Amino acid sequence: RQTACSAVNVRTGASTSATRLTSLGAGVKVTVVARVTGLRWRASCAGKDVSGTAWYRISAIGGTSVASRYGVRYVYAAGGLFEAVP
């Protein structure tokens, strides 16, 4: 998957109150290992208001493991802010 818009927050858990580790620009490729249900999120993405409770559990960002980058096994981001890689 890849980010569909800019300012996609990456967090330590599937909640907007979880610690934000970074924010990704548009078109960043990530490795998604699972789709999980978490707390509701809401955002604007590519000119559309989107919301949901689906989050992606991510193991790598831009080809680099999140373990080496952040020292955690997985990070999370709102699922509706991603698209399939063309």
pTM of the model: 0.95
CA–CA separation, 51 and 3 (whole Å)? 15
Query: What does the radius of gyration of the chain's CA atoms come to, in whole angstroms?
Result: 12
The pLDDT of residue 86 is 82
Q: Tens-of-pLDDT digits for all 86 residues of the chain?
A: 999 999 999 999 999 999 999 999 999 999 999 999 999 999 999 889 999 999 999 999 999 999 999 999 999 999 999 999 98
CA–CA separation, 22 and 29 (whole Å)? 14
Q: Where are the domains of the chain?
A: 2-83
CA–CA separation, 64 and 60 (whole Å)? 5
The pLDDT of residue 46 is 85
Structure letter (DSSP) for residue 79: G
